[in-house]
Structure 1
């Protein structure tokens, strides 16, 4: 009702303004590793990368030297993250040089430097993520109502997990996610070469964007195969291949000579030495580890192969569907399906990687209103052990209450863009009951953790319960997205 009364432009400005205010509000809370020497946390990692990139020559950014001890938060993201660290580091150096002084600024946490660091994440969203979401809205919701367009914008900009992780815990996921969203928007509007270049930028900002690579590959290959002649098919593939190679060459240029330098950077990006999983991540391997001791049963090499096989097997149906029948919304569904496969089954998954599955689901919010309302809440619940450790419990509760107040009640009677929601079948089977059960279980775990002492033999039992419960939700969502993909492809072919 409010969005209809405001109008499209006013609603857009209001949602963006609210999303920025909430980001700034979350930034007033604690962050990863605050006041916890000797290594602190992700906040310190980002600050340290600024210190390294500003003071050291580019050939030493990923290299273990006297001034760059890689055991202390060595750079382990691709070059665009390093360039971003250099750019923000230069700005912070101008404002407060002590914040990134070489070797002597570890754990630097003045209020002014923290404010500057927090603003750098907000500015990243303003420059990359928010414009990309707006581009997706234009590309995918051409025939939508103002209310549906507002709902999509709200879902993409205010889903709690992304806000809490980037602006609470402290990360710059909005940049890589923004490039990926911009790539999807470009491809959907026929700008396939631009879309390929933007996705390469996403991949070169954070390697976890690889979760989307099968979806973009399948969709773009499917489009190329729809060309009328063999030569036109080959030409289309060649043009995209050239764009990919040229983009990578531009990004990696400073690291390509000598070739050993590029190999050194690549070795920093592969997380194989870190084990199957860390902490409590709501994927298959972690959720089943209390029953099956994967790390004891298999060697590291065997686990890597096992994870790769399971990931490829589960993402294959979505890839095949997009090669056979590529479509605009099919691309977003394939991105979600591929991201779920990687999150649930690949090697060395971080709990924050669930953001990659959330992005395409929220971009499809008018088509999948119930899933777009429910899944972000589950995702925030799944990362609560991380948020609790960072001192973000209050922000977590506040954002979930805000999310529930504005999304869950409104979804019962919401219709999709097409006038017939793909969620209709699930809704008629008792979606309100599913919601109530899901919320009840989550509240039950939180209540038990608040009032009960965990057994001495199982000190992390409540974190394990959060992991197991979230995994069941994500597995069900992944299966449902696969079903939607094939149903959408079948409807398109008729």
Structure 2
């Protein structure tokens, strides 16, 4: 079986891996050094977003945090992240107190840049620890001389050197690393049969960044099914009388306590509606200025194509076509020209429908923690494909946990490689300056070659990683990059239709991500019931 060759995710590997951590330390130190070298690179408006949040939480009373609007970059993360910024601000004042003034918009002194960059690097220590915990859950062959045949080593490389995290956090600028670390640590605790710790970590994560609500159904269903119910029937179904009220109350107490600590001060101040309005701003529109590569990118592209065809065939009047509304770089509400316009409720319904099969599969055929992880990834992908105002960076929410499955079987490895390659390529538009062009190409090339080679070596006896069409799709990213970065800017169309490279990138990557999502669903429903975990 592929799992025997690769690495089953298993708590039993902890002692085998713990004593062989020299290569892990080397990988961690190497990527940390690379992050330091990226300090002088371009940073996006997210840099100013977080500087402004430092200023808000440091300079203003708590009662004004979610009302302050001097800058357009208002505080729109849950309270625990606000307190995180508050804690950072007390260190930031020793670097440059000017960065902590609300009126100092777009302030970016050298010390401010150093502080913010190093704050991301240092908080990534949590991600490194979480990656180590995940590697200790991998049951693979440690006796192989070649490191590239050790599942734990491959997983460490896939996580620590993840291209997406490197450019989003350490060039573009965000704090996804330590947040992803909390998520991975929560997943590891689930595999280590420590469900209450897993629930605690996930509750904390939700109160740091609410985008993780996307994967909450996987946690809720699995904890209820496999923790609150203590026994199963011979056919694998739940024995309803085995429901443990004590376990349920313990779980509820942990989750509610975290939310009470996080939101309690704002409930006391009567500001809960204001906080929620900041967390869920539905007036931002269906898509971001650069379309995330999901179903709505394909939908928007189809609407554009139909509108052009309609005008050419004189079925539509040019005045009825809304030009530039979806591609002008603005974040706003808009209406489609031909296809029905999409509302937040429509995206919610589509999202629920997309994740429902995975949740039902987790309930009726749980297959232990590995089934939970598969459901979590499907929830992340379903929400990415159909969610409202999804950012392209949200694909990391699926890529990182899928890394754990990638070393467990050749089919999952193939799905991972396609999803990761398409998802990472879709992040290229985040770095649009000429100076960063060779950096992003080189870093992605290194990570992609490592991923393909290591997974191919790991599963060389189980079959090919990609079939012919899949390999052709991945190779198609090379001419796509040449077209978007070099050829198209030299044409006369660049002035009239500047959005075409972004549209092509979104649509092409959306096809690969949608394909990976469908294949993962097929894999989830096609696996034998008791292959991975006979008890659950």
Scaled by the length of structure 2, the TM-score of the pair is 0.81
2:323 matched residue in structure 1: none
Per-residue Cα deviation, 1:253-308 (whole angstroms, up to 9, x for no partner): 222203x2122111110020111111121121133213227823799996111101
Consecutive unaligned residues in structure 1, runs of 5 or more? 1-6, 33-40
Instruction: Go from structure 1 to structure 2 and tell me whether the alpha carbon gap of 1:435 and 1:282 turns closer, same or farther (over 3 Å shift).
Output: closer
Per-residue Cα deviation, 1:160-189 (whole angstroms, up to 9, x for no partner): 111100111110111221111111111221
Which of 283, 300, 311 aligns to 1:289? It is 300
1:35 matched residue in structure 2: none
1:121 matched residue in structure 2: 120
Which of 185, 189, 197 aligns to 2:188? It is 185
* Cα distance between partner residues in 2 of 1:476 and 1:467: 14
After TM superposition, list the pairs within 5 Å mapping 1:33-72 onto structure 2: 41-63=45-67, 68-69=68-69, 72=72
Q: What is the aligned-residue RMSD (CA, Å)?
A: 2.7
Contact 2:418/2:470 (8 A) holds in 1: no
2:259 matched residue in structure 1: 248
Q: Does 1:24 align with 2:22?
A: no
SS across alignment from 1:256? helix
Give 1:437 shift: 4.0
2:272 matched residue in structure 1: 262
Q: Does 1:481 align with 2:520?
A: yes
Per-residue Cα deviation, 1:392-437 (whole angstroms, up to 9, x for no partner): 3232112112213423233333229xx85xxx47646665445434
Give 1:383 shift: 1.7
Q: Does 1:82 align with 2:82?
A: yes
Q: Does 1:166 align with 2:165?
A: no
SS across alignment from 1:109? coil
2:320 matched residue in structure 1: none
Instruction: Go from structure 1 to structure 2 and tell me whether the alpha carbon gap of 1:403 and 1:474 turns closer, same or farther (over 3 Å shift).
Output: same
1:108 matched residue in structure 2: 107
Scaled by the length of structure 1, the TM-score of the pair is 0.87
Contact 1:155/1:365 (8 A) holds in 2: no
SS across alignment from 1:249? helix
Q: Does 1:12 align with 2:24?
A: yes
* Cα distance between partner residues in 2 of 1:489 and 1:83: 45
Instruction: Go from structure 1 to structure 2 and tell me whether the alpha carbon gap of 1:144 and 1:484 turns closer, same or farther (over 3 Å shift).
Output: farther
* Cα distance between partner residues in 2 of 1:392 and 1:263: 41
SS across alignment from 2:406? coil
2:356 matched residue in structure 1: 316
* Cα distance between partner residues in 2 of 1:270 and 1:363: 31
* Cα distance between partner residues in 1 of 2:250 and 2:337: 46
* Cα distance between partner residues in 1 of 2:156 and 2:117: 23
Contact 1:8/1:150 (8 A) holds in 2: no
* Cα distance between partner residues in 2 of 1:121 and 1:453: 41
Q: If each structure's helix is expressed as a fraction of its own residues, which one has the higher value?
A: 1
